[in-house]
Amino acid sequence: MEIKHEPGRFFAKTQHGTAELLYSQVDAKTLSFYHTFTPDEDRGKGIAEELATAAFEYAKEKGFKVRPDCPYIPHFLEKHSEWKQYEAS
């Protein structure tokens, strides 16, 4: 699956619609990951995980910390502790 990025959004087209992770820049050093959506038929297939990984890679590359405002992101961080260092304190 191809993950695409445009300002404020990582997304992937699926056969059932569009999965996405939305973010906004809070300040010069922090991004808020505030919404993740996967079409019902695509849930449980790891799509949100791929979107979150791409978003954290972007944050790392650009020098941002992440504020996990979407309920999915803390769950993701529990499973992928390697990204916890990029969580805003």
pTM for the complete prediction? Answer: 0.95
Cα 28 to Cα 33: distance, rounded to the nearest angstrom: 15
> Is pLDDT at 35 greater than 90 in this prediction?
yes
pLDDT at res. 42: 96
Q: Which domain holds residue 46?
A: 4-86
29 contact partners, CB below 8 Å, separation of at least 6: 63, 64, 65
Domain count, the chain: 1
Q: Is the pLDDT of residue 89 over 90?
A: no
Instruction: Give the pLDDT score at 1.
Output: 84
3-state secondary structure at position 69: coil
Q: Percentages helix, strand, coil for the chain, rounded to the nearest 5?
A: 35, 35, 25
Residue type, 80: H
Domain CATH number, residue 55: 3.40.630.30
Is the Cβ–Cβ distance between 11 and 51 less than 8 Å? Answer: yes
Q: Which amino acid is at 17?
A: G
